[in-house]
Amino acid sequence: MEYRRAYFLLLAGELIWLSLLIVTPYLAAHKYVLSSQLLYRIFSHFCHQRPERSFFIFGEQIPVCARDFSVYVAAFISTIVYPKIRRLSTPVLPSKWYLVVFLFPMAVDGLTQLVGLRESTNLLRFITGFLGGLVAPFYFIPLMMASSSIEIEDCQSSDGEDIDEVAQRTSHKGYQRKEDFCTEEY
């Protein structure tokens, strides 16, 4: 049950995030200046917001670039599809090669543009970002589920092990319950 709760919280968070990406230009187009400026300011911490690299709706710029927008859209779609492909309680991460294959086009597109070999297009940014966004939940969700299935503060290692190491170990060993985790010898 706690897996479903964590999953739906993630899904709700992603939906709110995407909604804000659409609401922000809507507010700007309808002259809600203070609200739209606040949201653009918040999103500026996550993206460069260069107009030539962004999509526009309602005659206003989406508050993140085309690549970031596509990553968020694809991650949301992939999060919806995830439970139909894998069980939420499966803590095993896919091979890192999937991550490499799906992120490689985005890296090539971004790096060749960064070093000045060419200027990318918003369509190419969208496609390469979409590929990266599709794969991200298959790594993030198992780690999130592993960390939501145990109460780390109730069972810490005697040597003060770092929480990231604990989360990684529990996701690879397949611990499902706090009792499984707490019984391991350190």
Does residue 18 have a pLDDT over 60? yes
Integer Cα distance of 62 and 146 in angstroms: 34
DSSP state of 53: G
Does residue 82 have a pLDDT over 80? yes
Contact between 54 and 46 under an 8 Å Cβ cutoff? The reply is no
For 149, how many CA atoms within 13 A lie in the half-sphere containing its CB?
A: 25
Does residue 43 have a pLDDT over 50? yes
Q: What is the pLDDT of residue 147?
A: 80
Phi first, then psi, for residue 34 (nearest 5°) are: -60, -45
- Report, as an integer, the average pLDDT of 130-145: 94
- Report, as an integer, the average pLDDT of 75-80: 98
Mean pLDDT, the chain, integer = 86
Contact between 71 and 14 under an 8 Å Cβ cutoff? The reply is no
* 74 Cβ neighbours under 8 A, 6+ residues apart: 129, 130, 131, 132, 133, 134, 136
Q: What is the pLDDT of residue 8?
A: 94
- Report, as an integer, the average pLDDT of 107-117: 94
- Report, as an integer, the average pLDDT of 2-17: 93
- Whole-model pTM: value is 0.77
- pLDDT single digits (tens) 85-110: 999 888 789 999 999 999 999 999 99
Integer Cα distance of 184 and 102 in angstroms: 35
Q: For residue 166, what are its two tokens?
A: 């604990």
Does residue 13 have a pLDDT over 70? yes
Does residue 186 have a pLDDT over 60? no
Q: What is the pLDDT of residue 110?
A: 92
